[in-house]
A = this chain, B = another copy of it.
Amino acid sequence: MTYCLGLNLAQGLVMLSDTRTNAGVDNISTFSKMQILEVPGERVICMTTAGNLAITQSAWGYLQEGVTLDGRRQKLADMPNMFQAARLLGAAVREVYEADGKALAAQGIGFDASFLLGGQIGTEAPRLFLVYAAGNFIEATQDTPFLQIGEHKYGKPILDRALNWDTPLMDGVKLALVSMDSTLRSNLTVGMPLDLMTADRDSLHIGRWRRITEDDPYFSMVRQGWSNALRSALVALPAPEWG
């Protein structure tokens, strides 16, 4: 399992992923699930992945090497906008399926993969997509400015309650870290370190990229500070009159 989330906010993009891969609980490894393509001043694109690592790494490889879309080989670096980038990723996933799906099925292995693709190209606003294993996709909107892949349930309530499209970017970073922490606490197949990336709207370059390790002082403060804040909020809530 995995947990990745992306926020597309008024001020820009936040992408966060864990790094744990596992084949059973006694076979875990650390792999980054975040890939970034940056051409400063032209485009910044970030992809995070969940599911079978062989599938998701292959899809990223195809995006660099070229994928057949609309009858010709095209690369992620050539895409004129994020919608076409999402289409290309969908086409890449389908090429992986064509190449590997039958052999995986013969071994009883499902074709399990999902992707978040966030970024900004040129003058278009930042956009964020969730691409499924079938190559189809949905896009985040101002109504629902976040998308999640992998183990999404534990980290969703805090986003539902506190995140809006107007949330400032750095508050989005805090919320993403709290959402990830809630997931880390409950699902052993989601693990440290984390990869965090932000891109300020219209900057067209990576704003922040950080590998957050277990001993990261800021993340430690967020974990402890958030638990303390919740306990204080709990005490501050009035007791019921029927109590």
Contacts and interface: CB of A to CB of B under 8 A. Distances in A.
Interface of A: 153-158, 160-162, 170-171, 173-175, 178, 182, 185-186, 208, 210, 218, 221-222, 225-227, 229-243
Contact of A170 (B158, B210, B239): B239
A186 B153 contact: yes
A224 to B, nearest CB: 10
Q: 10 nearest interchain CB pairs?
A: A229-B233, A153-B153, A157-B182, A218-B240, A170-B239, A161-B227, A162-B230, A170-B243, A174-B237, A162-B231
Contacts of A154: 153-154, 156-157
A237 B240 CA distance: 29
B237 A225 contact: yes
A94 to B, nearest CB: 30
A66 B208 CA distance: 65
A155 B155 CA distance: 10
A173 B243 contact: yes
A237 B162 CA distance: 13
A230 B227 contact: no
Given A156-B154, A242-B210, A234 B170 contact: no
A156 B186 contact: yes
A241 B218 contact: yes
30 contacts: A153-B186, A154-B154, A154-B157, A156-B186, A157-B158, A157-B185, A157-B186, A160-B185, A160-B186, A161-B182, A161-B226, A161-B227, A162-B227, A162-B231, A162-B234, A170-B239, A171-B234, A173-B243, A174-B237, A175-B234, A178-B234, A208-B242, A218-B241, A218-B242, A221-B237, A221-B238, A225-B237, A229-B237, A230-B233, A233-B233
Contacts of A239: 170, 173-174
Contacts of A236: 229
A92 B42 CA distance: 67
Contacts of A235: 171
Contacts of A240: 170, 173, 218
A103 B234 CA distance: 48
Contacts of A178: 234
